[in-house]
Each structure stands twice: as structure tokens, then as C-alpha cells.
Structure 1
Amino acid sequence: MSSHQQLNAQTFLFDALYCEEEHVDIIEENSSHTEERFVELLQQNLLLDENDDDDEDYLSFLLQKEQENELYLDFVKNPSLAQARGEAVEWMHKVIGYYSFSALTAVLAVNYLDRFLFQFQSHDEKPWMIQLSAVACLSLAAKVEEIEVPLLVDLQVEDCKYVFESKTIQRMEVLVLSTLEWKMNPVTPLSFLDFIARRLALKSHLCEEFLRRCNWVILSLISDCRFMSYLPSALATATMLYVISSVEPCIGVEYQDQLMGILGINKDKVEGCCRLIQEMATSVDFQSRNKRKFGSLPGSPKGVVDMTFSSDTDSSTDDSWATSSIASVTSSPEPLSKKTKTHQINPDHAIS
């Protein structure tokens, strides 16, 4: 399958990340009146609030803490790693749709996986290792963000190539935590979306819909390794500009410089990311999917527990422990066909 076809297939998965609920949505499907009302409210309310010291301190914290995705350069050298990562992220999002996890859970899971793969890239000899890493990273993200988390065995749904025992996954979780130095609250594009949404003088119901649309676009992008070259702040800004411009182009032009001025980020980077989103949008109709009925709002950053701990062990001890840990999780996984539990899952009902 070509990379373009794989991208299209992956992007269509994200419809499942938001499930239909009984409440009345702000923007209902096939409702031109409510869409027009949304445009009107944007035109009236898209004004930036005045700066205050607390906002400036928080923004400074986000900008200092955000990091580039270092795995991107490795993908250029190792296309097979990029393909394996794409398949793992695709599976993650299927499971997230199955359990109706939040957008933040999805972003955190992919973030953990990318950071872990950057440290451990010797997976060519064991193709199932990336799948095990994906299961562990998704489990950790769910434990950080979700209120209810399924059992480790139950987490392995949606066409899992391999099914691992709980003890094996737990060992991998410990290895991931150690490798990431227990830094489980990274700055993500959603961090900046939440900040900017508060800075925009949007009424609460309009802010909710604006964030829903932005979150959907973010979820559609994180599977594409091309977006890994952009900082979270640039990706968030480009996403907001895309959502605003898709509603009212003149508003996007008006607020582009103002948004980038708030974050103090490179204009060329943002414009490059915007062009890439527009390119992706030619094959995937973001706007029609934004009218879809959404489920509960994704979890906010305050729902993430900052699990950053310092370690007193020296680097040599960490390296030796990591080596023994990776050996402890290399017991051969059982193929899917040997697990009876997965046969009880109907793939047709796997997406809410």
C-alpha cells in the first residue's frame, strides 16, 4: 500500500473517536442554519482578550517545555520504522474509538510511543515489539487520563496482530516509564489549543465547538509522520487557523498574525504546516466530518497527573536495568488465533 493510500486509510479512522450521544449537539449534522449561526458567532466573538501575568507565565512555561519529535529524522533513514509506527498508531486509534477514550488520551499515547521508539529502535528483529510498545503506551495514557480503564487483556481489541499476557504488558509499561523518566505530562498541541481558546473571547458554547473541531483535526494529523517535524505550538496554531479559515476565510487572514504574535512562533513554520494541512484536506473532507455528532469533550490538561519524578540512579545503572528489562518482555507473544477471547469481539461493533 502506498504512503498516500495508507494516510487516507488511517485518517478515516478518526470518525470513531467521537461517539454519538443523546444530548443536543451545538452543530447538528446536515443543519445549515446552525452552521450559519456558528459563523455568525465567530465573526462577533473572535476577539483576543487582554494579556495578564498569569497567562504570560503559563505560555512561557509551555513554550519552554515543548519539544521537537526527534523520531522524525529517523523515519527519513528508516522507512520500515515509519510504516510500523503508522500501523501501531492506526491500531491505537481503533481501540480509542472502541472505548470512546478522549482526544488527550490519543495524543498522549502517540507521544509516549514516539519518545519510546526514539530510545529503542532495534525492533527489526522482533516485529511484535512495536505492537507491545503500542499496547503499553496506550495503557499508560489511559491510566493517566481516563476515569475507567479496561483490563490489559481487554485493551487488545481491533485486529491485534499479537496478544500479550498482562504480565508481559506490565513489564513493558515499567520499561516505558523508565525510558521516559516518568515524564508523562508532556506539552502537546492540545495544551496550546486550551490556552488560546481561553485567550479568545469566545462564549462558552462557541468555545466548546471550536475546540471540538480543532481536536478532530489534530487527531487526524498525528498518524502522518510529516507533521512530526513541527513543534506542538506550530501544529496547534496551524490547526486553529485551518478551522477558522474553513468557516470564514477572512477571519483566518485577520487573526493569523495575531495568533502567531501571542505564541511568538516562526511564521514560516506555521505557514508550512498550514499548507500541509490543506494538502491533506484535499483527500479528506475535514469540514463534513466536523458536522458529525460528537461525544464528550476531550479531557483538559488539568486532568493529566504530572508524574515527573527525578531519579537518583546513574546512567550506567539505568542502561543496565533497561537492558535486563527489555529482555524480560521478550517472551514470545501468542498469535491472535490462539486467544479465544478476541474471537468473541465482533469487528462490526468495534467502532462506536
Structure 2
Amino acid sequence: MGVRMKIHSGIDAKHLMRMLGESLQKEKEQWKSVFHKKNGDGHMDSLGQHRDEAISWILCLNTKFHFTPETVALAVYLVDRFLLLVKVPSKYLRCVSICCYYIAAKTLEEDEVIPSTGDLVKGSDYECSVSEILRMEAVILNKLSWNIKYVTAIDFLHIIHSLLMCYYPQLLNGLSNMTPSKHLAILTQKLLKCLSDHQITTFRPVTLSLSVISHELEQITPNWLSIVMMMQQMTEVDSGSLIRCREQTGRFLAENSMLQTGYSFLRHGSSCSKALKRKAEEVEEDDDIYEGIKRLYNEDFGIEMRMSCGSEGMYQDIDQLSAVSAM
């Protein structure tokens, strides 16, 4: 993976299934969970807390530099992978974080939007020199053996969401002023926020993505559980992991007032709104994320997504996934 995923209108479910199979295989080869040890009193090592503060800083930093969600997710992955290899004193975590952020940008972003090292340091308001950034960047790349092309939770989010739009084209019909790109923007905001919790990122990227999606489906359709079960089978996520991840992401999103989106339903008193009993409110979105995702879905060009219908086709494609993953 490691290159920005392009999922455009007109892409069919067969190709998406192949992309999913290839991503699952890469995840199997690449992913290692970072567990932060507990102290004798049962509390989490302070490194986990400092790591979360550094990741939150990256998310805040991205409001200035406006890199893509893929870049942010890759930066978080690089931080966690480096922490798996090196015991980093907390005072150096911000330096590690900004370097991983810069490495991710140079890997995924267009050259013209990547700032110089000096501009990056100045724009981040981080008290360090350009030479310190360059030195730390070299350390990180060497420790990672220059292997920085990883599949992330954002990559899986795009694939799974596109599959949902293929197999359930009616999924968003009951929502007011909702498009696939707007819906994906909502999911992206929540997923990126979840990456700032080290306990959540102990789960596989695909498990985290499916967990965030499942919470969102629960709000918009009474049939959410059957859809999630099919997506679970498709993504090879075991039930125990998904349940535990849902519990943690649900608790985290609730604590950060992000669990309920407040969708506005078209038909007052419809089956969805009755079953879910959600208060209709306007959805506030991150403009940068939304605009980028609009381009991903080619909505600016007025191209409608070609969608196949129902779960029958999904089950047929699931049967082919194991063979695709093995390729």
C-alpha cells in the first residue's frame, strides 16, 4: 500500500474485493500491535499517555498543513512502529512525531504541497532545529529499514465504505443532504480521532475501521447488525476482537462527544428514526477532509457511482476473497 488509495466512481465490487484481499494480505505481513506495559499499581505506563498527546498534536498540526487523512494515518502508524523498536523518552516524542508526519507527507503527498523542513518546523511552533529534525528523520528511517509503505486503517475505511456503497446503494437514501463523500468524511473524522488512543490502536487496522463503521451503521439503519456481520466475514475479523474494539471505540467516541452524529432523516417517523430515536441535527464536518473525499468520489464531476444491489452479490464475492488474499 503506502500510496494514496484512489477509489473512483465506476469501480466495481470485484475490483474492490481484490483490493481488500491484497490489503488484508499486506496487513498480515506488516502489522504488529504496540502494547504499553502496566506499572506495578496497575496503571498504564506513562509512555502510552505521552504517545497519545503526541498523536493529538499531529492531528492539531494537520489543521495547519492540510495533508490528507491517509498521510495522518500513516504518520501515526510510523510513530507506533518506531515505538515498537525503540524505547523513546517522552521528551523526544514530539520530535519523533513531527518526523513521522513529515516522512508520511513525503511518501503520499504531491511535491508542491510538501513544505520545506524549515517551514515545517516554523509552522509547527516546535522548538527544535532543522538539523535535529533531519537527524531524527534519518534515525527513524534506518530503524524502520526504510520500509514505510504500510496499509492503514484509513485505507481499509475507504475500501469497506466503497463496498457498502456498492452493495447497499440505498443505505443513505433516508438521510437528508447526505452523499457518499459526506458520509465518508464523518467516518474519517472519527477514525482519525480514535488513532489518538493507544489502547484502541492495539487492534488491527481493519478491525478498527470496521468498528467505527459499525457504530455509524447502528445510527442509520435497523439492519446494521446483519450488514456488519457480512462485512466482518469479508474482512476476516473475528467476533471477539470486533466486540472488544467496538466497546473501546464506543466508549472513546462517547467521551469525546463523537459517538452520535445527529443525522437528519428525510421522513419524520420513518422506520430508521423510530428504531434509532436519534435527534436530527446538522452535521458539522471538516472542510478539508470533505473536499478531499469529494474528489475521491469524483462528485465534482457529477459522475454517479455504479452500484450493484443487495447482499447476494456480496456473499458471492466473499467466497472469492480467500483465493485473492492468497495471491
TM-score (norm 2): 0.67
Deviation at 1:158, TM superposition (A): 7.7
Match of 1:57 among 2, 7, 18: 18
> Contact 1:218–1:239 at 8 Å: present in 2 too?
yes
What amino acid maps onto 2:190 in structure 1?
Answer: V
Q: What CA deviation, in whole Å up to 9, does each residue of 1:67-91 have, x standing for no partner?
A: 444322x343561211221221122
| Residue of structure 1 equivalent to 2:70 | 104
Match of 1:272 among 244, 249, 257: 244
| Residue of structure 2 equivalent to 1:133 | 96
Q: How does 1:182-197 map to 2 (within 5 A)?
A: 182-197=146-161
| Residue of structure 2 equivalent to 1:349 | none
Match of 2:187 among 214, 223, 240: 214
What amino acid maps onto 2:135 in structure 1?
Answer: R
Question: How far apart in 1 are the matches of 2:212 and 2:93?
Answer: 29
Match of 1:198 among 162, 166, 181: 162
Instruction: Summarize the Cα distance change of 1:198–1:114 in structure 2 as closer, same or farther, 3 Å threshold.
Output: same
> Contact 1:91–1:158 at 8 Å: present in 2 too?
no
Question: How far apart in 1 are the matches of 2:96 and 2:117?
Answer: 13
Q: What CA deviation, in whole Å up to 9, does each residue of 1:140-162 have, x standing for no partner?
A: 112222331223233236885x5
Higher relative contact order, structure no. (Cα contacts within 8 Å, ≥ 6 residues apart): 1
Deviation at 1:220, TM superposition (A): 1.2
Instruction: Summarize the Cα distance change of 1:82–1:171 in structure 2 as closer, same or farther, 3 Å threshold.
Output: same
SS in 2 for 1:291: coil
| Residue of structure 2 equivalent to 1:79 | 45
SS in 2 for 1:225: coil
Q: Does 1:255 align with 2:227?
A: yes
Instruction: Summarize the Cα distance change of 1:50–1:253 in structure 2 as closer, same or farther, 3 Å threshold.
Output: farther
Question: How far apart in 2 are the matches of 1:268 and 1:92?
Answer: 31
| Residue of structure 1 equivalent to 2:128 | 164
Q: Does 1:246 align with 2:219?
A: yes
| Residue of structure 2 equivalent to 1:120 | 86
* Superposed CA RMSD: 2.8
Question: How far apart in 1 are the matches of 2:33 and 2:261?
Answer: 33
> Contact 2:189–2:286 at 8 Å: present in 1 too?
no
Match of 1:294 among 283, 286, 294: 286
Q: What is the identity percentage for the equivalent residue pairs of Structure 1 and Structure 2?
A: 22
| Residue of structure 2 equivalent to 1:233 | 206
Q: What CA deviation, in whole Å up to 9, does each residue of 1:182-217 have, x standing for no partner?
A: 222211111111212222224897321221111111
> Contact 1:105–1:145 at 8 Å: present in 2 too?
yes
Q: What CA deviation, in whole Å up to 9, does each residue of 1:44-88 have, x standing for no partner?
A: xxxxx9863x4443322211211444322x343561211221221
Question: How far apart in 2 are the matches of 1:270 and 1:157?
Answer: 41
> Contact 2:52–2:196 at 8 Å: present in 1 too?
yes
Q: Does 1:145 align with 2:137?
A: no
> Contact 2:218–2:224 at 8 Å: present in 1 too?
yes
What amino acid maps onto 1:108 in structure 2?
Answer: L
Gaps of 5+ in 1: 1-48, 304-352
Q: Does 1:155 align with 2:120?
A: yes
What amino acid maps onto 2:228 in structure 1?
Answer: Q
Gaps of 5+ in 2: 1-10, 173-177, 263-281, 297-327
Q: What CA deviation, in whole Å up to 9, does each residue of 1:296-333 have, x standing for no partner?
A: 34768xx9xxxxxxxxxxxxxxxxxxxxxxxxxxxxxx
Deviation at 1:169, TM superposition (A): 0.9
> Contact 1:68–1:230 at 8 Å: present in 2 too?
no
Instruction: Summarize the Cα distance change of 1:84–1:288 in structure 2 as closer, same or farther, 3 Å threshold.
Output: same
Deviation at 1:100, TM superposition (A): 2.1
> Contact 2:100–2:137 at 8 Å: present in 1 too?
yes
Aligned length: 246
Question: How far apart in 2 are the matches of 1:159 and 1:61?
Answer: 36
> Contact 2:99–2:133 at 8 Å: present in 1 too?
yes
Instruction: Summarize the Cα distance change of 1:213–1:156 in structure 2 as closer, same or farther, 3 Å threshold.
Output: same
Deviation at 1:263, TM superposition (A): 1.1
Question: How far apart in 2 are the matches of 1:83 and 1:115?
Answer: 16
